[in-house]
Structure 1
């Protein structure tokens, strides 16, 4: 139901640690926003949910536990949460209905967090009040993988304009230095970028490592995750290592991938958290052939189980994998296959990297992520100047339609 009357008093709180691209500034007492709205494409219960949705859920749940009134406004389907969830329609149609649903069913907030993952909501054109923009990764190269030329070009222009021009008066939260650098390359003022890393849960007791070679890939089965490339490399690796390649996750690419899979490949689809934990513990290596990531959350999840990763030297994975220490970052397909074989054949190197990965992962917990994000939220509210009219960030790129 719409909320009326005077704004809810904000929460007073001492400053919390934050990660920024600029030197630390003298801190003053902060004022925390009480009512926070996340505007995101999906709820975590959506079959297409991934790392972005997990991050939003952990932030929303953590902030709720700290006394904030949190609402997630997203496309359906949705599930019950410890915080309020409001559906604005279907997966794509909700982009057009977001403003009307916000006004009708939410009414107002102390802070609006727009989760910008490709298609923007253009909230600076219609929302009055403090805002943040949360960015997992910039989709520059990915538009061409998902859409034909003209549509991909339009998508790139709209996303770049939305991040650099439409959000020019707001702070932007990046999940990794790679994402922060990509935003800077678009022209975003680096003084407005804050880095808040993903966290992980503290794992339950470790279960047994597989005595036979077991390699694991986890993620949505979509183009940019490049599981097809992994399947091709498996044909070169399997004669050397033997064993099984287990693929966890689902998505639009699954049928095509299953058709091209050779011997020793097992598609698990979605698995429970318990089974995922057991697979991460049992695996000799986590394989992550993605073309780009914001962070690569599953890399840190594997690290908490002492499992090193092999990936490509791409944005996001450069931040979550310390090359040669907690895993290997390959520069090409042949070096990926070579690293895969070399680590599979050396239990000593795998063990050493796994221990280093586990030590590194101890720095990343969801409690720290929530604390860092909460500090940036307070900064955004403190820096906001009351405005009587929505911002006018300049002309929308040709061919794009403002969501009014």
Structure 2
């Protein structure tokens, strides 16, 4: 979500628009505001303790964030990212008489759907809140057709108010053409990469078991880059215990969170990128791997079916059996010609997905709202061809 918010904001600013990103202050040393790029300001609002919070605890501070937001001068568009922000911002936007746009980025599992092993229960108000936002927001922006179907099917959002705005990728930063200088070199078998927040939803146990099942003679190192969230203290120890149980202790590298620059180098050096998530609204990691010219093996969940062209830019697996994944990994590693075909096709596809294109699609949504003088709503643009836009999101961190 952080990547999408930042890059769309920068691309909107490059088109001549003013963007403010508002987030809850999550560390004491965060400034009141900072410029991320010309025309893009990141501001921190005081709502709750200035520390990272488990996702379920954000709900307690929605009203405080809303009050801080309401004290500000209005923008022309309010675009909320994630349900916490929508709950804080929708009524404020109504008070200002400006349109409210909602993006979810993740949607709570239906009550009839079992939580994946180890997942925390959702905030009490989440499912009701998401449904309310889907009904009441002026526009709903999904990142994939899969997410759009969930918004209209499960949440009851109107089809005519739901737009699909796919993400882009920085194909200069994520590129196969730059030299690789990695801390994790491995041996001649190289490494496969997983880049994800460390939580059960991301299927890291499957990645560990799958690589462990690859024949020892060709088994690569598994590099996992990412941080555990506040909800999952001790999860790194759980992953190490899984690796010990399946015999991958010596071939597992948990390297923690990485900067975007370091991640681009990690992508370039990987032989494969694995995305075994139980659920993804799109799977931006898969797109960044594609831009880096690296084949992806992904789970057939949510938007990953759209992020990866099965058999063309990578493989999409219906099964979650580690042996099935191990066979797929081995097949690509032992067939250089196929690996190269996947790599070339992945890079070519990624080159057509620019952030400028994503921002232009988003701008069409905004312009459509500003052109519609809905009953009882006063809309305005402060200057011709220029939309002032406010994006709200929960805790964010940018490199």
The two structures have a TM-score, normalised by structure 2, of: 0.76
Aligned counterpart, 2:397: none
Looking at structure 1, the residues matched to 331 and 25 of structure 2 have their Cα atoms a distance apart, in angstroms, of 45
Structure 1 position 240, deviation (Å): 5.4
Contact 2:211 2:220 in 1 (8 A): no
Contact 2:102 2:133 in 1 (8 A): no
> 86, 92, 103: which one pairs with 1:134?
103
For 1:191-270, list aligned pairs within 5 A. 191-204=160-173, 205-207=177-179, 211-237=188-214, 239=216, 241-251=218-228, 252=232, 253-261=235-243, 262-270=249-257
Task: Work out which structure has the larger RCO, using CA pairs closer than 8 Å and 6 or more positions apart in sequence.
Answer: 2
Aligned counterpart, 2:393: none
Cα deviation, 1:327-368, whole Å, max 9, x if unaligned, reads: 111111242222112112111111111111111111111111
> 2, 6, 9: which one pairs with 1:60?
9
Cα deviation, 1:241-282, whole Å, max 9, x if unaligned, reads: 222111111113323223332220001112233322221111
Distance 1:161 1:338, change over 3 A: farther
> 335, 352, 355: which one pairs with 1:346?
335
Aligned counterpart, 1:368: 357
Looking at structure 2, the residues matched to 147 and 119 of structure 1 have their Cα atoms a distance apart, in angstroms, of 20
> 111, 122, 127: which one pairs with 1:156?
127
Contact 1:143 1:153 in 2 (8 A): no
Looking at structure 2, the residues matched to 118 and 336 of structure 1 have their Cα atoms a distance apart, in angstroms, of 36
Contact 2:171 2:350 in 1 (8 A): no
- Is structure 2 residue 99 aligned with structure 1 residue 110? no
SS at match of 1:263: helix
Contact 1:178 1:316 in 2 (8 A): yes
* Structure 2 gaps, min length 5: 244-248, 379-399
SS at match of 1:144: coil
Looking at structure 2, the residues matched to 86 and 273 of structure 1 have their Cα atoms a distance apart, in angstroms, of 22
Structure 1 position 122, deviation (Å): 5.5
For 1:267-282, list aligned pairs within 5 A. 267-282=254-269
Looking at structure 2, the residues matched to 314 and 307 of structure 1 have their Cα atoms a distance apart, in angstroms, of 20
Looking at structure 2, the residues matched to 60 and 213 of structure 1 have their Cα atoms a distance apart, in angstroms, of 36
Contact 1:122 1:162 in 2 (8 A): no
SS at match of 1:237: coil
For the aligned residue pairs, the C-alpha RMSD in angstroms reads: 2.5
Aligned counterpart, 1:355: 344
SS at match of 2:239: helix
Distance 1:143 1:250, change over 3 A: farther
> 4, 24, 45: which one pairs with 1:87?
45
Structure 1 position 374, deviation (Å): 1.3
- Compare 319-328 and 120-129 and name the one that shifted more: 120-129
SS at match of 2:324: helix
Cα deviation, 1:147-183, whole Å, max 9, x if unaligned, reads: 34xx5675333323332x233xx11111111111111
Distance 1:152 1:103, change over 3 A: closer
